[in-house]
Structure formats: C-alpha cells, structure tokens
Amino acid sequence: MIAFAVRRFIQAIVVLLAVSLIAFVMFKYVGDPISQMVGPETPIDQREALREQLGLNDPVPLQFMHYLGDVVQGNFGRSFRTGLAVDRVLLERIPATLELAIVAVLYAVVAGIPMGVYSGLYPDRWLSKFFQTVSLIGISLPTFFVGVILIYIFGPTLNLLPTFGRGEVVHIGFWSTGLLTVSGLKSIILPAFTLGMFQLTLIMRLVRSEMLEVLRTDYIKFARARGLSNRAVNFGHALKNTLVPVITVIGLQLGQVIAFAIITEAVFQWPGMGLLFLQAIQFADVPVMSTYLLVVAVFFVAINLVVDLLYYVIDPRLRLDRAVAQGG
Amino acid sequence: MAPQNDSPPLLEVRNLSIEFPTRRGTLVAVDDISLHIDQGEVLGVVGESGAGKSLTGNAIIGLLEHPGRIASGEILLNGKRIDNLSYEQMRRIRGRDIGAVFQDPLTSLNPLYTVSRQLVETIKVHTDLDTGAARARALELLEAVGIPAAKERLSSYPHEFSGGMRQRVVIALALAAEPRLIIADEPTTALDVSIQAQIIALLKRLCAERGTAVMLVTHDMGVIAETADRVAVMYAGRVVETGPVASVIQNAHHPYTSGLMGSIPHMKHGVNRLTQIDGAMPRLNAIPQGCAFNPRCEKVFDRCRKERPELISIEQNEVACWLYQSDVGGVS
Ligand SMILES: Nc1ncnc2c1ncn2[C@@H]1O[C@H](COP(=O)(O)OP(=O)(O)OP(=O)(O)O)[C@@H](O)[C@H]1O
Ligand code: SF4
Ligand SMILES: [Mg+2]
C-alpha cells in the first residue's frame, strides 16, 4: 500500500513538473512581460536594465529553475492587469469554482447512479428507455445552450431563481462559501445543474452499461444460484463490481468540471477561476493564465491520486504485495 | 419406465421443453425430455456440446437466461412443482434445496469479497445462524473441502487461490446450506487435467457422506463410469438413452451411445472428448426430421428419416431408436 502510494506520488510530481514547464514556456514566450510592465515611451536601455534585473537574460534552464523556485514558494508573480499578487487573486476565486464543481458532480452522482442502476437492471422498461433518450439529449446539447435556456426559463419568465453571481457569501478563514446562505444556495442551483448535466448523463450511461455487463458474469449467476436475495445480488455483488470504472470516470469528470467550469461561469457570471481566466485571456495577463493552468493541473493530479487509492481500497486484486506475501 | 417407488423421486423432470423465440421463428433447444434423480443418487448427463445439458440444469434451478423459456413440461422436487414458482419462492429453494457448481471456478466467485464473506452470506441467507456461528460453519466447510490452512484462508480473496482450490471453495458454497441435490455442470472442464480427478472424487465423497444427490453434467465418460449411478445420454435436445451406468456403458443400445462408449477402455481422465463420431450435431434451426442422429448414424434406415423414435425400455435401459422397435411390444 505504501509502496503503491509512493509510486503514485512520484508520478504525480512528474506530471506537475511537465505542466509547470508548459506554464513557464507560456510565461516566457507569450507576450513580452517588459512591455506589459513599462510604458511605451520607456527607452531601450531602461528596458534592458529591467530585463537584466528580472533575470530574463539568464540561460533558459536557469530561468525555469527560478520559476519553479518561485512557484514552490507560492510566488506566482503579479497580474499584468491589476498589479495584484496572482496567488491572492486566484485564492479568492478558488472556493467559488470548487463549490460549483463539487455540487455539480454530487448532483450528477446522486442522480446518475440510481438512474443507471435502474436502467441496467430493467433495460426493457419504458422508464429506462426514457432515461436513455433523455441522456442522449443531455450528451449532445452544448453547455452554454442549456445554461441560456435555463436562464431564460427561471430568470425573466418564472422569476424563481437568480441567474447570475454567487449570492451572499460567508467567510470562514480564507474560504468563502455560498452554501450557508439562502441566496447563495439558490444561486448555485442553475449553474450546478447546467455544469453537472453532461456528467449526469455520462455517469448514468456508464453505470447502465457496466451493470448490464456485470449481470451477465458467472459470479452473479452463481450468487443467484446460492439463493441470495435480489437486493444482495444487485447491489452487494453487481453494483460494487461496477464501481472501479465508475469511480474513475467520476474522478476524471470532477477534474474536467473544474477545468471546464469556464463556460458555465461565463454564462452565469459565476465569480470563479474560470471567469478570471477568461478575463486574463482578454488582457493577455500571462501570470494569471499560467498560474490558472498550474492550479487546474494540481487539482487534476490530486483527484487522480485519490481515485487510484480508491481502486486499491475497492479491488483486492490490485493489492498485489499482499497476494505475494500470502504465496499467491 | 422409471422404477415406481411409493415416495416420489427427489427430482423429476417431466416432458420438459425449452425454447428460444427468435426473429426467424422459435428454436427448440430442449425437446420433451424426462429425467428423475432419487435421494443420494448421482445422475450423469452426457452429450456433445449444444445437446441442451446446461439448459436443463439451469431450468431446474430456475435460472434460465432470457430469452430462453420453459415451453412445456414440469419440474418436481419431492413431488411438488417448482417450475412455476415465483422468483422469491424459487430463490429460497436455490442453495437450500438445490445447490449448483458451474464450469469455471475462476469466474464463479465475486473477486471483490473474501471467501469468508461469500460463505457467511450464503449460510446466513438459508439458516438462522448469527455471523459468529456462520463463520465457524464456513471454516468447517473449507476444511471439509480440503483447503489447507483453512483458518488463515478464510480471509483470502478468490484471486489468491489456484483454480482447483477455487473450485473447492465453490463446492463449499454449493454445500453451505446442505442441499439435497447439486447440479454440477462440467465442474472440472476448466481445470488442469491433473486435478480434475481430485475434484470429482471430492464432490463424490462429500455428497455420499451427506446423502446429497448430484446431477453431474460432463463430457468425460471416464468420470461418468467412476462416479454416476445412472446415465442420461442427450443428443440435440433429447434424451436418446438412459439407464444404470454399468448397463449403458457395457450394453449400449443406441448407436450414438455406442459411439460415445467406444473409446472407454483406452480412456484416461480428460484426454478423451466426445469427438470420435464423424460429423457434428445439427444446429437448432436445422434438426433433421425423424431421428435427429440419422445423418451420422451407420445403421440408419428408411424409417429413421421419417418418424421420430420415442424412448422405450430395452433390458435395463430406455432407448430412443427404431432398431429396437420391433424387439419390444409397444412404444412406451
Ligand atoms: N440465448 C440463446 N439463444 C439461442 N440459442 C441458445 C441460447 N442459449 C443456448 N442456446 C442453444 O441451446 C442449445 C443447448 O445449449 P446448452 O448450453 O444447454 O448446451 P450444452 O449441452 O450444455 O453444451 P456444452 O457441452 O457446450 O455446455 C445450444 O444449441 C445453444 O446454441
Ligand atoms: S433411429 Fe435410426 S438413425 Fe436414429 S439412431 Fe436408431 S438407427 Fe440410427
Ligand atoms: Mg453446458
């Protein structure tokens, strides 16, 4: 177990190094930081002096080392646009994005798994067929379109739910949460629904096909032949065997949701990292862009790490060291 | 006909037919077969691949897979019909009255649970034992099926056992609630040749000790010769010959049975498969008219191609073949 975790951890570090290289390259070659920092009337020799001072004339590998050093110390530079420290700016935005992503995925899981189980167990019932059809629509509609339609229905038409912003937030330490106020809760419904819809259909379809597959296996037939109850067979034996692929997908989806919250955040003016990133692109605010990239990569890698460790908990066949210890 | 006792046989299959509705008509995979198994008896069922052996076994435990269905006939356990029970009523019979052992021990066990957990859940579903008592019973069972260091192995997962050991675990699971009948569908086919005999001997001994009857489906005539009390030979969804094992082996009447038995004296376990008869069994959608065996039969004559022979008693056996129709008074 520990060897496994260490191995995974080293892999995670390698991935993060690769991403920081990309972030660095972006930082270094996209746009000219000097011209962002000084006015157009600044003479060449002053620019050169600044360049020397910032270490921009050092060999590139050395610059990368410096960049890494800065990143590790939490020094991500200053936003070209606002001049504020990038880490502060992003840190302020992370809670909004994370809450949105987690609520979206939770809703996708809580609704998607039972729907998938049902349609896997009873593929011929009309409700299962209905789920299948609806899920096709869910998979093929673009997010922004769903968002706009929802805004139109629940905003001006019914006037039921807020359609932009986060509502009131409460600060707990560095974290700001909208989940503790009524307006915050109301505000998250539409964006989370929009963001989670694709995930819901994906999870539902995956659970369904995995269930269909597992229900055909010998050990399910044998479990029935042993006289186990339907519930024990369907949930204790079948559902558990679908969990490894389902958890993989949920984990990957959580990463995706964090990364692709951009569109939903834009549609609902949700004050998260994605919205910040969009604004950064407009201003070629490279420090913000590259830091955003790093942060998303950290989330991705962390989630994958957790998913890998979960496999290990669920599937004993992966605990190879144990099997070897017992002599196979 | 079958010997008439006062009490009904443990299991009786009467005129069972199993069919598959398909777009191009209905396929009849098991056609009007009758079998019976007495208390503690071992009935061997042989026949080439596709003869309908597994379907018959699945129908008995009520686990025919969709879209297969019982078209007609009855299945009786201790004289009571079980083929028309609800899923829940049948569930109580599975495991408790009729156990099952399937072909592939590598896939019969849930990979995510320890053998202890799978044994305990099976025991608890059929008895009033609490978890502690069920665990003690699980240990007894593992010891009974000959798992070395059973106590330590309780907490092992299926993948930590070899194929032969896993089939022992499967047998322990089948016996967990002391059923009176076990349907063993090719229990050793997937195993290494060197351990097939051990597993068969184990199954035979455990069932004999407990007075458990066995329906043993196999391709291996050697296993039948050593293990079974009676044999039913199936061909293309029908029973073509049945009788006491010695009589069927030494005194086969049906040309198909004779073909099967031809190689017995030279046989070692598992080496011989039923391949010595020329030709192949017909597909379900092309079963010949008359006797289904007629295209492959050396003794075929006119009548075989027109009319279908029914089982009749010849000496100790029952045989479905026109060769014997004149020897005996009437069609049974
Ligand atoms: N779902 C199905 N649809 C159509 N035909 C089927 C289906 N399942 C089984 N059959 C047919 O039923 C026949 C009997 O199958 P069965 O599995 O009982 O054979 P078997 O005697 O057990 O053979 P084997 O020795 O290969 O296990 C076969 O011809 C098979 O093709
Ligand atoms: S009925 Fe005819 S074809 Fe069939 S086994 Fe007997 S002799 Fe051969
Ligand atoms: Mg079979």
pLDDT at A290: 86
Q: Report how far residue B171's alpha carbon sits from residue B203's, in angstroms, rounded to the nearest whole number.
A: 7
Domain co-membership, B204 together with B170: no
Average pLDDT of A108-117? Answer: 94
Question: B117 touching A, CB under 8 A?
Answer: no
In angstroms, the CA A10 to CA A5 distance is 9
CA atoms within 13 A on the CB side of B224: 34
8 Å CB contact between A163 and A190: yes
| DSSP class of A153 | I
Mean pLDDT of chain B: 89
**What pLDDT score was predicted for residue A55?**
73
**Confidence bin at B264 (pLDDT 50/70/90):** low
Report yes or no on B316 lying in a domain.
yes
Which residues of chain B does A232 touch, with a Cβ-Cβ cutoff of 8 Å?
121, 125
pLDDT higher than 90, residue B9: yes
Give chain B as a 3 state SS string.
CCCCCCCCCCEEEEEEEEEEEECCEEEEEEEEEEEEECCCCEEEEECCCCCCHHHHHHHHCCCCCCCCEEEEEEEEECCEECCCCCHHHHHHHECCCEEEECCCHHHHCCCCCCHHHHHHHHHHHHCCCCHHHHHHHHHHHHHHCCCCCHHHHCCCCHHHCCHHHHHHHHHHHHHCCCCCEEEEECCCCCCCHHHHHHHHHHHHHHHHHHCCEEEEECCCHHHHHHHCCEEEEEECCEEEEEEEHHHHHHCCCCHHHHHHHCCHHHCCCCCCCCCCCCCCCCCHHHCCCCCCCHHHCCCCCHHHHCCCCCCEEECCEEECCHHHCCCCCCCC
> Is the pLDDT score of B274 beyond 60?
no
Q: Answer with the one of B130, B150, B178 that is the final residue of a domain.
A: B178
- pLDDT: which is higher, A312 or A210: A210
Q: How many domains does chain B have?
A: 2
Q: List chain A residues with CB under 8 Å of B99.
A: 225-226
For residue A85, give the DSSP letter.
B
Tell me what pLDDT residue B271 has: 46
Whether residue B144 lies inside any domain: the answer is yes
Of A95-109, A168-182, B74-88, B194-208, the range with the lowest mean pLDDT is: A168-182
pLDDT at res. A165: 87
Asked whether B237 and B52 are in contact (CB, 8 A), the reply is yes
Exposed/middle/buried for residue B180 (C-beta within 10 Å: 0-12, 13-18, 19+): buried
Name the minimum distance, in Å, from the CA of A106 to any CA of chain B: 25
- The contacts of residue B302 (CB under 8 Å, 6+ apart) are none
B3 within some domain: no
Q: Which residue has the tokens 């037939």?
A: A221
Q: Which pLDDT does position A173 carry in this prediction?
A: 84
pLDDT bucket at B92, cuts 50 / 70 / 90: very high
What pLDDT, on a 0 to 100 scale, did the predictor assign at position A123? Answer: 92
Q: B95 contacts in A (CB within 8 Å)?
A: 225-228
Q: Whose CA is nearest to atom 24 of ligand 1?
A: B49
pLDDT of residue A301: 87
Instruction: Please report which helix (H) or strand (E) contains residue A146, including its range.
Output: helix A143-152
Answer whether residue B326 shows pLDDT above 70.
no
Residue B20 belongs to a domain with what CATH number?
A: 3.40.50.300
Choosing from B157, B178, B199, the residue where a domain stops is B178
pLDDT digits (tens, 9 = 90+) for A240-270: 999 888 888 888 888 888 887 899 999 999 9
Pairing between strand B11-22 and B69-77?
antiparallel
pLDDT band, very low/low/confident/very high, at B332 (cuts 50, 70, 90): very low
Query: Can you give the pLDDT at residue A26?
Result: 77
Same structural domain, B257 and B236: yes
Confidence (pLDDT) at B55: 96
Give the pLDDT score at A207.
95
pLDDT at A102: 93
Say if CB A243 and CB A251 are below 8 A apart.
Answer: no
pLDDT confidence tier of residue B144, bands split at 50, 70 and 90 = very high
Ramachandran sector of residue A269 (left: φ over 0; alpha: ψ -120 to 50; beta: rest):
left
Tell me if B320 CB under 6 Å of ligand 2: no
Instruction: Please tell me whether residues B20 and B157 are part of one structural domain.
Output: no
Q: Which residues 292-321 of A are in CB contact (within 8 Å) with B?
A: 314-317
Burial letters B316-332, b for 16+ CB under 10 A, else e: ebbbbbbbbbeeeeeee
Q: Do B24 and B74 belong to one domain?
A: yes
One domain for residues B280 and B198: yes
ipTM score: 0.89
Q: Which of A33-42, A158-167, A188-197, B188-197 has the highest mean pLDDT?
A: A188-197
pLDDT (tens digit per residue) in B47-77 = 988 999 999 999 999 999 888 999 999 999 9
Q: For B147-156, B284-293, B319-328, which range has the lowest pLDDT when averaged over its residues?
A: B319-328
Q: Tens of pLDDT along A12-30?
A: 888 888 888 888 887 777 6
Q: Which atom of ligand 2 is nearest to the CA of B305?
A: 3
Q: What integer pLDDT is reported at residue A85 of this predicted model?
A: 87
Query: Do both B86 and B109 map to the same domain?
Result: no
Q: Are A67 and A290 in contact (CB under 8 A)?
A: no
Residue A309 binned pLDDT confidence (cut-offs 50, 70, 90): confident
CA distance B23 to chain A (A): 17
Last residue of a domain, one of B156, B178, B200: B178
Q: Has residue A213 got a pLDDT over 90?
A: yes
User: Is residue B204 located within the same domain as residue B151?
Assistant: no
Q: Closest CB to B94: pick one of A219, A226, A314.
A: A226
* Separation between Cα atoms, residue B26 and residue B14, nearest integer Å: 21
Instruction: Check whether residue B35 and residue B126 sit in a common domain.
Output: no
- Does residue B306 line the site of ligand 2, with CB under 6 A? no
Topology of the domain covering A86-327: MetI-like fold (1.10.3720)
| Per-residue confidence (pLDDT) for residue A83, from 0 to 100 | 80
Given a contact cutoff of 8 angstroms between Cβ atoms, the answer to whether B69 and B19 are in contact is yes
Residues B124, B58: one domain? no
A232 vs A311: which has the higher pLDDT: A232
| Separation CA B325–CA B310 (nearest Å) | 9
Looking at residue A270, its pLDDT comes to: 93
Q: What range defines the domain where residue B119 resides?
A: 105-178
Residues near A35 by beta carbon (within 8 Å), at least 6 away in sequence: A47
* Cβ–Cβ gap A323/B173 under 8 Å: no
Q: What confidence tens digit (pLDDT) does each residue in A148-202 have? A: 888 888 887 787 888 888 888 888 888 888 888 989 999 999 999 999 998 899 9
State whether B33 and B142 are in the same domain: no
- Return the pLDDT at B276: 61
Confidence class for position B262, pLDDT limits 50, 70, 90: low
Q: Under 8 Å CB-to-CB from B141, ≥6 apart: which residues?
A: B119, B172, B175, B176
Which residues of chain A make contact with B162, given a CB cutoff of 8 A? 328
| Residue B309 belongs to a domain | yes
* Atom 30 (ligand 1) nearest CA: B50
Atom of ligand 2 nearest to the CA of B291: 4
Residue A106 buriedness (CB in 10 A; 0-12 / 13-18 / 19+): middle
- pLDDT of amino acid A287: 84
Torsion sign (Cα): A15, A17, A22, A26: positive
Q: Work out how many CB contacts closer than 8 A connect A with B.
A: 85
User: Could you tell me the pLDDT band of residue B90, with boundaries at 50, 70 and 90?
Assistant: very high
Determine the residue of chain B that is closest to A216 in CA distance: B65
Residue B1 counted as domain residue: no
Mean pLDDT in chain A? 86
Give the chain A residue nearest B170 (alpha carbons): A222
Q: Which of A229, A237, A326 sits opposite B110 (nearest CB)?
A: A237
Q: Quick check: A325 contacting B, CB < 8 Å?
A: no
**What gap in Å lies between CA A74 and CA A72, rounded to an integer?**
5
User: Minimal Cα–Cα distance from A317 to chain B, Å?
Assistant: 7
- The answer to whether A122 faces chain B, any CB pair under 8 Å, is no
Residue B2 belongs to a domain: no
Question: For chain A, which residues make up each domain, given as ranges?
Answer: 86-327
**Per-residue pLDDT, B233:** 95
Rounded mean pLDDT of B303-315? 91
Q: For position A36, what pLDDT does the model report?
A: 66
Which pLDDT does position A4 carry in this prediction? Answer: 76
The answer on B270 and B301 residing in a single domain is yes
Q: Are residues B72 and B191 in the same domain?
A: yes
